[in-house]
Amino acid sequence: PPRPPAMKVLLACTALASGLQSNLPTQPLPLATRRLVAVPRGVDVALPSRHARASAGRSSPCCMALAAADDAGQQLDLGALGRYFFAVLMQLIALTFAFGVLDSAGYASPLGPLPAPAAGGVFLAISLRSRVFSSLDDSAPEERVTATAAEDEALEAALRPDGGGGKPMKKTALRAECEARGLSVDRTMPAEMLQARLRLYFESRARQAAAAAAAITPSWAPSEDSLSLARAAAIAPLHALASCLVYSSSTGRLNEGHFNDPVLLWLALHLCLEDTLRTAQAAEGRVGAAVPGSALVCLSALYAAKQYSDVAPAAGALLALAATWNAVAAAAATDTWRLNN
């Protein structure tokens, strides 16, 4: 009997779908071409957004890897900027509170405020260890990793598609391996997501090692050890001496021997910015933040020197001399970026 028109349309759609399926590649497309896919005319394909892939990554390691690749390609991490802003704000509030406690203790004591030499010791300690007041984790990535190189090789073999010839790893073992490498995990994550995080960790570490080996540094730039030694031996004492002069000159402007001086807080802001930049570069590996971050730190040092100079010209000159260290670091970061880009 003749087929009804609806049946003819259904058979035609089935044949078209079968033909399209036989012409599509069976292998997955590489990440680099995931946005450029040839689709036959008349076929609507809805590709998931990055936000949808990140949400689906809780159960799909492939989607999580795509989301991580998109995140790595971003030029500006607004979430990290917000976190750094609040870290600087909280550190500055903590330093202001510490200064207020010192002022209250000095005024309540029958001996009065701290003398200038003792105040200089306080300023020296804050200049050297201002990171104590920061809420960011400034430990280096290698300090958070407790796994050895042999354990990494064995884990990489176990994470291969063939399983390295052994049994599949359980969820508890995968979570322990993530924690041993400083990765943030919780008990709700499935085993597939833990495996994906470990694979991304090894891939990222290999890329960072290759980038570090290929990086070009200026021949004139001082080493990190030299900068650290100069900061401890010269910059911190200059900060302390300049702040001690401002502390001594607070008589007449504020209460005698006032730590919580708005002029002194400009140096505290500079130290907060410097600590945040050091954490972003050394602890979190954000090399791209070196150029604008070092420039911002250098400008904050120069502005603090201007504020010091308005109160005590000698203090401003000493702080401007200390700012040369920040200028050298900013120039080295800019020249390094130029050579590698």
User: Both ends of the chain: CA-CA distance in Å?
Assistant: 73
pLDDT at residue 71 greater than cutoff 50: no
The token pair at 28 is: 């997955």
Tokens, residue 271:
């130290």
Structure tokens at 18: 């079968």
Distance of CA 38 to the CA centre of its chain: 38
Q: Which pLDDT score is estimated for 13? A: 55
Contact (CB, 8 A) for 234 and 268: no
> Minimum mean pLDDT among 14-18, 47-51, 217-221, 293-297: which range?
47-51
Quote the pLDDT of residue 187. Answer: 84
pLDDT for 74 beyond 90: no
Query: How many degrees, rounded to 5, is the angle at CA 224 between CA 223 and CA 226?
Result: 65
Q: What pLDDT shows up at residue 93?
A: 96
Q: Does pLDDT of 302 surpass 60?
A: yes
Q: What is the pLDDT of residues 10-48, one digit of tens each?
A: 555 555 555 544 444 444 444 444 444 444 444 444 444
Q: Given pLDDT bands bounded at 50, 70 and 90, which one contains residue 97?
A: very high
Question: Residue 164 has what pLDDT?
Answer: 55
The pTM of the whole model exceeds 0.85: no
Q: What is the pLDDT of residue 168?
A: 77
Cβ 154 vs Cβ 176: under 8 Å: no
The pLDDT score that the predictor gives to residue 48 is: 42
Backbone angles phi, psi at 169, to 5 degrees: -75, 145
What pLDDT, on a 0 to 100 scale, did the predictor assign at position 125?
Answer: 95
Q: Band the pLDDT of 239: cuts 50, 70, 90.
A: very high
- How much of the chain exceeds pLDDT 70, in percent? 73
**Most confident by average pLDDT, 1-10, 64-73, 94-103, 275-284:** 94-103
DSSP assigned state of 231: I
- Residue 240 has a pLDDT of 95
DSSP state for residue 254 in the 8-state scheme: B
**Dihedral angle at the C-alpha atoms of 226, 213, 204, 180, nearest 10 degrees?**
-60
Token reading at 1: 């009997």
**CA torsion, points 292, 294, 297, 303, in degrees to nearest 10?**
-80
Give the pLDDT score at 42: 44
Asked if the model's pLDDT at residue 72 lies above 60, the reply is no
pLDDT at residue 203, rounded to an integer: 86
